[in-house]
Amino acid sequence: MASIKAENLTKTYGLFPAVRSIEFDIADGEFVAILGPSGCGKSSTMRMIAGLETISGGTILFDGRPVNEIRARDRNVAMSFESYALYSTITVRKNIAFPLDCAGMPRLEIERRVSEIAEKMELTELLDAMPSALSSGQSQRVGLARALVRNPSVFLLDEPISHLDTRQRYRMRRFIKSLHQEYAYTMIYVTHDQEEAMALADRVIVMSDGAIQQIGTPYEIYTKPKNLFVAGFVGEPPMNFLPYEYDHAGETIVIEGQVLGLPEALRADAAMIGPEGLAAVRPGFVSIGVGSSVTLDATVFITEALQDHNLVYADIGDTRVCVETAPEMTPRRGEAVKLAIDPDHLLLFPRDQLASDTEL
């Protein structure tokens, strides 16, 4: 087991800065997800932790000791990749035993460890199968077993379940979580899938453009996103954004010509952001036709009946808003509705944070 710290960690490829002076602290036994879109620098960060990539600047420390100069195989880091990269010509048993064989471990000890991990990973019946006979979920578990059989002090997972179907993903999520609960590995889980990150991790590091945007518990990141990027990237269905103009005198904001009173708590934010901004609210904190101080007239675009809840997409002028409702609520296309926004969950952001290619 180990704690991991990054200080001013930087990676450049030629002139391109892939990771720009990032800092984080991961406690011993903690489960941290690094979340971001492709090209955000998350995989480069992980590869530097593993020792598979040289460090361009800054330091990585394991338990307080710099590991910049320590070779990958001496860091006791296990890694599991999206592509399971199993050896196709040898059995599952030999695949799992491979890292121990390489380390020159005695045969009896290898056998003991392989059967132990196989049982834990529900692979005992498959030990003599060849990789080609396995389903993708099974191959994934063999890949994990091979990574774990060495008792690593740090366990890195790179998009380990992104290509599995809904049910297999759900099973693997449960499985990875139980592994962490049982063995308390320090785990770093790299993914572009916000749902996995928010479900699995104790804390999430959100990255974009080579920089850290926010570090926090899933709940903090969900309810208190620091900036527009985090607000828009995290959450499914995604956050609603409504452009507004601010009227300082009346403490109100105007959205698509409709005036909204601002809750007390947001007045300072609004004043700081200035005359124009973006109001943000999650679909779960908007309701239809319920009395509230904050309501907006909208026209229903479409209703999706997801059975345990519904999603209603409605247009306030040119701004489309997604609303999560009870399954009984099924407004029709074109119907006029009143949207009530929960003022405790309304957030305001400056518009200039909007990256040019962000599509809202």
Partner 1 sequence: MTYALENIWKRYGLTTLALKNINLTIPDEEFLVIYGPAGAGKSSALNILAGIAKPTSGDVLRNGQSIIFVPPEKRNAAMAFENYALYSHLSVFENLAFPLRARHMPDKEVAERVTAMAEMMGIAHVTDRRPGFLSGGQRQRVALARAIIRPADIYLLDEPIGHLDAKLRHRMRAELKALAEDRKSTVVFTTTSSREALALGDRVAVFNAGKLEQVGTPAEIYHRPANTFVATFVGDPPMSLLDVVPQQNGDSVHLTLPGGRSIGEAPASVLGGVIEALQVGFRSREISLVDAGSPQSVSGMVATTEQLGYSVIEVDGIAGQRVSIPTPTDGSLKAGETVGLKFDGSASHVFVNQRAVFHAGGAF
Which stretches of the chain bind partner 1, using CB under 8 A? 37, 136, 165-168, 170, 173-174, 177-178, 181, 192, 194-195, 198-202, 217-219, 222, 232, 235-238, 301-302, 304-308, 311, 313, 320, 322, 333, 359-360
340 is written with which tokens?
């009530």
Q: Phi, psi (5° rounding) for residue 356?
A: -60, -35
Measured CA to CA, the distance from residue 104 to residue 287 in angstroms comes to 63
Nearer residue to partner 1 within complex by CB, 132 or 307: 307
Q: How far is the CB of 314 from partner 1 (least distance, A)?
A: 10
Q: For the chain, what is the largest distance between any 2 Cα atoms, rounded to a whole number of angstroms? A: 80
Nearer to partner 1, 237 or 263 (CB): 237
Measured from the CB atom, the residue of 71 and 332 that comes closer to partner 1 is 332
Question: How many CA atoms, within 13 angstroms, populate the side-chain half-sphere of residue 52?
Answer: 11
Residue 96 or 176 having the CB closest to partner 1: 176
Q: Angle at which helices 136-148 and 92-102 pack, to 10 degrees?
A: 20
Q: Which H or E run includes 349?
A: strand 347-350
- Comparing CB distances to partner 1, the nearer of 290 and 302 is 302
Distance between CA 77 and CA 188 in Å, rounded? Answer: 11
Smallest gap, in angstroms, from Cβ of residue 203 to partner 1? 10
Min separation Cβ 286 and partner 1, Å:
14
What is the C-alpha separation between 225 and 240, in angstroms, rounded? 13
Q: Residue 142 CB, nearest distance to partner 1 (Å)?
A: 18
How far apart are CB 82 and partner 1 at their closest, in Å?
15
CB of 74 to partner 1, least distance (A): 33
Tokens, residue 224:
């208190």
Question: Which residue do the tokens 């005359």 mark?
Answer: 275
For 232, what's the count of Cα atoms within 13 Å in the CB-facing half-sphere? Answer: 19
Closer to partner 1 by CB, 81 or 219: give it: 219
- Comparing CB distances to partner 1, the nearer of 51 and 218 is 218
DSSP 29-93: T-EEEEE--TTSSHHHHHHHHHTSS--SEEEEEETTEE-TTS-GGGTTEEEE-SS----TTS-HH
C-beta of 167: minimal distance to partner 1 in Å? Answer: 6
Considering the complex, what minimum distance in angstroms separates the CB of residue 309 from partner 1?
9
Nearer Cβ to partner 1 (107/174): 174
Give percent helix, percent strand, percent coil of the chain, each to the nearest 5. Answer: 30, 35, 35
- Sheet with 258-261, side-by-side order of all strands: 258-261, 252-255, 240-247, 276-281, 347-350
* H or E element in which residue 99 lies: helix 92-102
* Min dist. Cβ of residue 43 to partner 1 (A): 16
End-to-end CA distance of the chain: 42
- Minimum CB distance to partner 1, residue 181 (Å): 5
Task: Choose between 150 and 320: whose C-beta lies nearer to partner 1.
Answer: 320
- Give long-range contacts, CB 8 A cutoff, 24+ apart: 306-315: 311/237, 311/283, 312/288, 312/337, 314/288, 314/339
Nearer to partner 1, 276 or 315 (CB): 315
